[in-house]
Amino acid sequence: MARASYLFTSESVSEGHPDKVCDKISDAVVDTFLAAQPDARCGVETLATTNRIVIAGEVRGPASIDADHIEHVARRVVREIGYEQEGFHWEKAKVDVLVHQQSADIAMGVDASGNKDEGAGDQGIMFGYACTETPDLMPAPIYYSHNILKALAEARHSGAQPGLEPDSKSQVTLRYEKGKPVCATSIVVSTQHSADLSTDEVREIVRPYVLDVLPEGWMCDEAEFYVNPTGRFVIGGPDSDCGLTGRKIIVDTYGGSSPHGGGAFSGKDPTKVDRSAAYACRYLAKNVVAAGLADKCTIQVSYAIGVSKPLSLYVDCHDTDRVDAAKLEKVLYDMVNLSPRGIREHLHLNRPIYARTAAYGHFGRAPEPDGGFSWERTDLVDELKRVFG
């Protein structure tokens, strides 16, 4: 039986965190290829350190997207994030592009040919999750962690808080009673800032954004409100800590509230099931919860490289389901084609929509008119309700 009363913590990191700088560069490269050729292939990793960016990986797409083009994309991303610091500057950083053509062996196994459908780009397991804790059907700790940093980033970009710099982290601990979140017991925010701000001044800059994000009455005790607990955070970003694509997979998903298959998303085109199948699992889980069939839903799928059909589909509603789980598995399997091609076509994933996913979570975001965050739609709800009465 699940515990009724407990504390649970999730963290988030901002677009200026070193790993997120790398995620966004990698995803901007993916977008560049998909904008030029919707069936392009991309598996791109980025490393960033003091005034140095290294981009490596494999691609298949237009020859016009060469090393110079990719370097330009990287510099544009760093400028948009806001890095114009001595130790990390969009214009002054050295950029190395070490990108090569996709392996012919992988292409042969994955591409559709003859009567063979497109296969999965790799083996692996992927998970999706949804719950009723927040309006976006996300776990509350990661939801509030993301939103605190988004609010601070918006204030920084707008000029409302010019003393804030790009690198920041948050951590939210919530108390659960009878399985429901009821208040925060501690809040941690570490944000890079200009040298002329004191720790107390940064604390008072951050406070109203935290209060605005949390539900009324949820704020923790003052002694448990930690802002820049080391006392100073002037040197930040890749100048203070090397960044790498794919190191924030729990931040990207559900903050630890759900299992994770282990595969990162950023830098991968949608033929990679690490990305597309995780999106499909969230899509299915969110629709199950939105339809009122359960209060919580975890979905797992698995794949083998070069094989189009999923090897398994598993649904766990954590004893909150109002319908038969075995029947739900069959209905979901029949409702959406979970082959790599089927997922891409159903969710319209062959579009340049990925750089925007790189910070503040891939899930719990509003679907956008151009197809961004299409996996957050709840367009299966009516059919699910009809099938299950």
92 marked as part of a ligand binding site: no
Of the candidates 90, 74, 69, the residue with the CA atom closest to the CA atom of residue 23? 74
127 marked as part of a ligand binding site: no
178 marked as part of a ligand binding site: no
Give the side-chain half-sphere CA count within 13 A for 340: 28
Residue 147 · residue 213 · CB < 8 Å = yes
275 marked as part of a ligand binding site: no
The overall longest dimension of the chain from CA atoms, in Å, is 67
Q: What are phi and psi of 256, to 5 degrees?
A: 90, -5
221 marked as part of a ligand binding site: no
233 marked as part of a ligand binding site: yes
Residue 94 · residue 51 · CB < 8 Å = yes
> What is the strand order of the sheet 296-303 is part of?
124-131, 296-303, 312-316
66 marked as part of a ligand binding site: no
Q: Report the C-alpha gap between 40 and 36 in whole angstroms.
A: 8
Residue 164 · residue 16 · CB < 8 Å = no
241 marked as part of a ligand binding site: yes
DSSP H or E stretch at residue 257: none
Residue 16 · residue 166 · CB < 8 Å = yes
296 marked as part of a ligand binding site: no
286 marked as part of a ligand binding site: no
- Could you identify the residue written with the tokens 């082959």? 339
Residue 281 · residue 127 · CB < 8 Å = yes
Q: Report CA-CA distances (Å) from 224 to 190, 231, 232, 370.
A: 14, 15, 18, 42
Residue 26 · residue 267 · CB < 8 Å = yes
Of the candidates 256, 253, 254, 255, the residue with the CA atom closest to the CA atom of residue 264? 253
377 marked as part of a ligand binding site: no
171 marked as part of a ligand binding site: no
* Structure-token pair, residue 125: 């397991």
17 marked as part of a ligand binding site: yes
Of the candidates 342, 287, 333, the residue with the CA atom closest to the CA atom of residue 312? 333
341 marked as part of a ligand binding site: no
Q: Report the C-alpha gap between 358 and 348 in whole angstroms.
A: 18
Q: Report the C-alpha gap between 323 and 241 in whole angstroms.
A: 48
334 marked as part of a ligand binding site: no
Of the candidates 266, 271, 263, 268, the residue with the CA atom closest to the CA atom of residue 111? 271
Q: What is the DSSP letter of 363?
A: S
168 marked as part of a ligand binding site: yes
Binding residues for Mg(2+) are: 19
Binding residues are: 17, 19, 45, 58, 102, 167-169, 232-233, 241, 247-248, 264, 268, 272
Binding residues for ATP are: 17, 167-169, 232-233, 241, 247-248, 264, 268
Binding residues for L-methionine are: 58, 102, 241, 272
Binding residues for K(+) are: 45
